[in-house]
Amino acid sequence: MKKDIDWNLLQSFIAVSEHGSFSAAARATNGSQATLSRHISTLEGQLDTHLFDRAVGGAELTTRGIEVLQRAMDMADAAGRLTLDVEGRESAISGTVRVTAATIVATFILPRIVAALRIEEPDIDIELVASNKTENLLRREADIAVRMYRPTQADLFARKVGETRFGIYAAHSYLERRPAPKTAKEILDHDVVGFDKSDLIIDGLSRFGLKVDRDFFAFRCDDSVVCWNMVIEGYGIGFTQLEIGEAEPRVSRIDLPSTIEPLPVWLAAHSELKTNPRVRRVFDFLAEKLSATTG
């Protein structure tokens, strides 16, 4: 009779699967490649199957590995539901709440709100995950998520708290060298700061009737904070939320006849956390303040 599989082995297997390599998984879990490799070898031995093909720059799941991953994810989600069920019955408004938001929101919008929360609720500690990755609320990678889209994950409690509007900005130093565009088409004659892999700005420009690809951008980075700092330093024209752009004295807003479509702002938490007082308190506080900020 085979021994029951150690949950630690499955956690290591999920980490390598999600991050695509042993090195990336080790960094994400604050572990070591040697430990992960040993766990995977042990798991393969217990299951009598080959889970990964080692490839250049990563580890690719085998067909059998994909099947095992689905079972492991089901177990992880079940464990997450159990934890949430227990924590949902806690009554103290104290402890830690983990919030995740895109880097630009975490850097420029949430600090003021979280600082105000600390004054009102000094017994609640906040862990803020500044990441553009979609964190899994069910598996407790975060308690609350701030999203710029409607969450679709099952078992989520979500509330739309407003819409964030965007503007086109350039530094005063840039506009001293190059006059601001007066029409959308004139943007094509400027240095523009954009994303590398994300198509968000490309899609936005298409609404202006401008068909461009990633090579159009004079500077490319998928970190919105980096892009915004390049705009501030005068590299080129860029895009950001109005509440961020209007607060920066080193830039000017460029008004064009067309407007950029706003994005919704959603808060999401696992439905079972609705009964957790500290998470609900943070959720409601964020909803109130973000609603006032985004309108």
CA angle 183, 185, 186 (to 5 degrees): 70
Residue 196: what pLDDT? Answer: 93
* Span(s) in the chain for CATH 1.10.10.10: 7-87
Q: Which fold has domain 7-87?
A: Arc Repressor Mutant, subunit A (1.10.10)
Whether the per-residue pLDDT at 288 is higher than 70: the answer is yes
Q: Summarize pLDDT for 107-121 with one digit per residue, the tens.
A: 999 999 999 999 999
List residues bridging with 168 in a β-sheet.
239, 254
CATH number corresponding to 95-164+263-294 = 3.40.190.10
Amino acid (one-letter) located at 192: V
Check whether 4 has a pLDDT greater than 80.
no
3-state secondary structure of 195: coil
In the prediction, which pLDDT does 86 show? 61
Where does the pLDDT of residue 89 fall: very low under 50, low under 70, confident under 90, or very high at 90 and above?
low
Mean pLDDT of 271-284: 81
Query: In terms of pLDDT, which residue wins out, 83 or 135?
Result: 83
Specify which of 56-60, 74-78, 134-138, 282-286 reaches the highest per-range mean pLDDT: 282-286
Lowest-confidence region among 29-33, 38-42, 88-92: 88-92
* Residue 138 pLDDT exceeds 60: no
**pLDDT for res 118:** 95
Letter for the amino acid at 52?
Answer: F
Q: How far apart are the C-alpha atoms of 279 and 67, rounded to whole Å?
A: 35
* Average pLDDT of the residues of the chain: 86
Spell out the alpha helix ranges (H) of the chain.
7-19, 22-29, 33-47, 63-87, 103-108, 110-120, 172-177, 200-206, 224-232, 242-245, 277-294
Q: In a 3-state reduction of DSSP, which class is residue 155?
A: coil
Report the C-alpha gap between 133 and 193 in whole angstroms.
Answer: 21
Rounded Cα gap, residues 117 and 128, in angstroms: 13
Q: Which CATH architecture has domain 166-254?
A: 3-Layer(aba) Sandwich (3.40)
What's the confidence (pLDDT) of residue 1?
Answer: 38
Contact 164, 263 (CB under 8 A): yes
Give how far the C-alpha of residue 214 lies from the chain's centroid of Cα atoms, to the nearest Å. 21
Q: Is the pLDDT of residue 238 over 60?
A: yes
Question: What are the helix (H) ranges across 121-213?
Answer: 172-177, 200-206
Domain ranges in the chain with CATH number 3.40.190.10: 95-164+263-294, 166-254
What pLDDT sits at residue 236?
Answer: 97
